[in-house]
Amino acid sequence: MRMSKLYMPTLREVPSEAEIPSHKLLLRAGMMRKLVSGVYSYLPLGYKVLKKIEDIVREEMDKAGSQEVLMSAIQPAELWKQSGRWYDYGPEMFRLNDRHEREFCLGPTHEEIFTDLIKNELKSYKQLPLNIYQIQTKYRDEKRPRFGLMRCREFIMKDAYSFDRDEEGMKESYREMWEAYEKIFTRCGLKFRVVEGDSGAMGGSDSHEFMAMSEVGESEIAYCDDCDYGATDERAECIYDLKEQDNEELEKEKVHTPSVKTIEQLEDFFKLPADKFVKMLIYKVKDEIIGVLIPGDRELNEIKLCNLLEVPEHELILADEDIIKEVTGAEVGFAGPLGLKKDIRLLVDSRVTKMKNFIVGGNETDYHIKNVNYGRDFEGEVVNDLLLVQEGDKCPKCNSTLKIARGIEVGNIFQLGTKYSKSLNATYLDENGKEQYFLMGSYGVGVSRTMAAIIEQSHDENGIIWPLSVAPYHVVITIVNVKKDEQIELGEKLYKELSSKGIEVLLDDRKERPGVKFKDADLIGIPIRITVGRKANENIVEFVLRRDGEKIEVKADEVFEKIK
């Protein structure tokens, strides 16, 4: 590509609306432009990078046995009503009506739509497992669109969905996607960590988030350097205190839930073997421990459970929401601490804010209160930076010391279980001809957000430093003075030679001052720069790597060897 022809409207000034490096640099390097808040247009260089990230994602997904499809962004409300998410999703969903007043939304994600796609067609256990994905535009009317590509209202996501016959299969599919994600983000040149995630909005049992480490990341994570433990604070957003309990309505709903201290007692209490218990999340807030049990990994539970039981002031036993439902018969999706004494504090997580009716710990030992109404019965304050653990806390897995850092969520994988197959009634026939619900997983990569994350990790004061794997062009050949025939000739010759060998080359043939050309080359972040200048008549060029800036002279006919 000749830069004299390239549409690359670079900016000298830092745009005032941009706060973080990737946002500033994407605008300055002429890679994108804002249309309205949270909606961007990709210009030629930016679009090339986006496509390279997409291709990496595509290759790794294909290698992992997933098959690419393309679904519509427009989705009928009926399917979302069946899963219940039409009501849960709230104002983040873009909704629209057609001319017949039928309701639709612009898809923020596609669980319902993929489940509906395979339903009635994927019939036999012999056809399982199946994993399908798409790379497509998603719409979320974010409360605070900001930071450029980081938090958009329209963005590109890769989303995949797996369908398995049983839990074991689902876990295997999950593992395969996990591995594919590690390859994807490694190839994108990102430093990242995998942490336990928030499965709230997707409604599953287990989830992990892929976090690109960065100071500007919106998530705080706790991690351990000595083992692979990591967790995010996503679930914990605010603390609410239960209002005075003389509220008659509340008293009426009190249910007996005796506190217990050992796993055996728990088994006895719930009439369930301990391996049916599920993961316990423990939030530590101002030295108080508050928790929620959600389905998950048993081993981790035990450790946490034991830690928990060592806290004498709190007779605190937590139960899985389904189990609580079973025990109390309440139609709720959240359980607070059981058996806590006074001053019950409710930790409001991203799921709870969407719910009206749930159980909380009672202000009397061994009692719970059900049918508590979030808006009515709690008053609270938003507490930011709330983490499951604090810097210096012991790692729950290996007892080493935990560290805290910030991260950008670039990917998220979920074990969904039968949530969607049940609500949308998607079944297959097993070996005995019996109908069974699919066990599902869903797996997202923020493709456009990944582009921003790469820049956050790889830039300097002069501009972007693209890793070779996603760079819009591998090489820029800068002709220092286009009035000199020998420079033009050598530049053109190298341009043709390298291009014919499959290297993606930009030729800076513009009638600009050399300073401008070098500044632009740095700004747009091309990994290799070849400068054709005064020594062109001796067939010598300068070779510079964007990352370290070190210049060396190379014979023109040795350039290809040097690059490959």
Which residue in 321, 395, 384 sits closest to 355, CA to CA? 321
CB 150 within 8 A of CB 20: yes
- The nearer residue to ligand ATP, 107 or 336, going by C-beta atoms, is 107
Tell whether residue 185 is a contact of ligand ATP (CB under 6 A).
no
- The nearer residue to Mg ion, 328 or 412, going by C-beta atoms, is 412
Stretch that binds ligand ATP, among 73-81, 239-247, 441-449, 502-510 (CB under 6 A): 441-449
State CA 113 to chain mean position distance: 20
- The nearer residue to ligand ATP, 211 or 521, going by C-beta atoms, is 211
Alpha helices in 125-240 (DSSP H): 167-187
Cα–Cα distance, 350 to 237 (Å, whole number): 7
- The nearer residue to Mg ion, 413 or 506, going by C-beta atoms, is 413
> How wide is the angle at C-alpha 116 spanned by C-alphas 109 and 436, nearest 5°?
115
Give burial (CB, 10 Å; 0-12/13-18/19+) of 195: buried
Cα–Cα distance, 215 to 355 (Å, whole number): 32
- The nearer residue to Mg ion, 359 or 445, going by C-beta atoms, is 445
Q: Out of 291, 296, 441, 444, name the contact with ligand ATP by CB under 6 A.
A: 444
Tell whether residue 22 is a contact of Mg ion (CB under 5 A).
no
DSSP class per residue in 118-153: HTTT--BGGG--EEEEEEEEEE---SS-BTGGGB-S
- The nearer residue to ligand ATP, 410 or 479, going by C-beta atoms, is 410
- The nearer residue to ligand ATP, 142 or 393, going by C-beta atoms, is 142
The distance of closest approach from Cβ of residue 393 to ligand ATP in the complex, given in angstroms and rounded to an integer, is 23
Size of the site for ligand ATP (CB under 6 A): 15
CB 365 within 8 A of CB 315: yes
Tell whether residue 410 is a contact of ligand ATP (CB under 6 A).
yes
Q: Out of 55, 59, 141, 142, name the contact with ligand ATP by CB under 6 A.
A: 142
Beta strand residue intervals within 453-560, DSSP E: 459-460, 463-464, 475-479, 505-508, 528-532, 540-545, 551-555
Restricting to residues 29-88, name those near ligand ATP by CB under 6 A: none
CB 232 within 8 A of CB 196: yes
Give me 384's structure tokens. Answer: 């930011």
131 binds, among Mg ion, ligand ATP, none (CB under 5 to 8 A by kind): none
Stretch that binds ligand ATP, among 293-301, 313-321, 406-414, 426-434 (CB under 6 A): 406-414
417 binds, among ligand ATP, Mg ion, none (CB under 5 to 8 A by kind): none
Give me 102's structure tokens. Answer: 């039928």
Binding mask 102-131 for ligand ATP (x = CB under 6 A): -------x----------------------
Please state whether 458 falls in left (phi above 0), alpha (psi between -120 and 50) or beta.
beta
Q: Out of 46, 336, 396, 446, name the contact with ligand ATP by CB under 6 A.
A: 446
320 binds, among Mg ion, ligand ATP, none (CB under 5 to 8 A by kind): none
Tell whether residue 151 is a contact of ligand ATP (CB under 6 A).
yes
- The nearer residue to ligand ATP, 143 or 501, going by C-beta atoms, is 143
Give me 280's structure tokens. Answer: 């316990």
Cα–Cα distance, 138 to 477 (Å, whole number): 37
Which residue in 463, 494, 466, 464 sits closest to 479, CA to CA? 494
- The nearer residue to ligand ATP, 203 or 362, going by C-beta atoms, is 203
Stretch that binds ligand ATP, among 324-332, 356-364, 445-453, 508-516 (CB under 6 A): 445-453
CB 459 within 8 A of CB 465: yes
Tell whether residue 157 is a contact of ligand ATP (CB under 6 A).
yes
Asked if the bond preceding 337 is cis, omega within 30° of 0, the reply is no
- The nearer residue to Mg ion, 3 or 57, going by C-beta atoms, is 57
Tell whether residue 542 is a contact of ligand ATP (CB under 6 A).
no
Q: Are strands 103-106 and 94-97 parallel, antiparallel or unpaired?
A: antiparallel
Tell whether residue 140 is a contact of ligand ATP (CB under 6 A).
yes
| Cα 434 to Cα 10, 123, 455, distances in angstroms | 62, 11, 52
The residue number whose beta carbon is nearest to Mg ion equals: 412
Tell whether residue 242 is a contact of ligand ATP (CB under 6 A).
no
Residue the block writes with tokens 């993606």: 504
Tell whether residue 409 is a contact of ligand ATP (CB under 6 A).
yes
Stretch that binds Mg ion, among 56-64, 247-255, 408-416, 432-440 (CB under 5 A): 408-416
- For residue 62, the tally of other CB atoms under 10 A from its CB is 13
Tell whether residue 449 is a contact of ligand ATP (CB under 6 A).
yes
Q: Out of 257, 259, 412, 442, name the contact with Mg ion by CB under 5 A.
A: 412
Q: Out of 89, 155, 283, 495, name the contact with ligand ATP by CB under 6 A.
A: 155
CB 539 within 8 A of CB 556: yes
The distance of closest approach from Cβ of residue 108 to ligand ATP in the complex, given in angstroms and rounded to an integer, is 7
CB 122 within 8 A of CB 163: yes
- The nearer residue to ligand ATP, 409 or 520, going by C-beta atoms, is 409
The distance of closest approach from Cβ of residue 446 to ligand ATP in the complex, given in angstroms and rounded to an integer, is 2
Cα–Cα distance, 212 to 505 (Å, whole number): 29
- The nearer residue to ligand ATP, 219 or 421, going by C-beta atoms, is 219
129 binds, among Mg ion, ligand ATP, none (CB under 5 to 8 A by kind): none
> How wide is the angle at C-alpha 220 spanned by C-alphas 156 and 350, nearest 5°?
70
Catalog residues that contact Mg ion under the rule CB under 5 A. 409, 412
Catalog residues that contact ligand ATP under the rule CB under 6 A. 109, 140, 142, 151-152, 155, 157, 409-412, 444, 446, 448-449
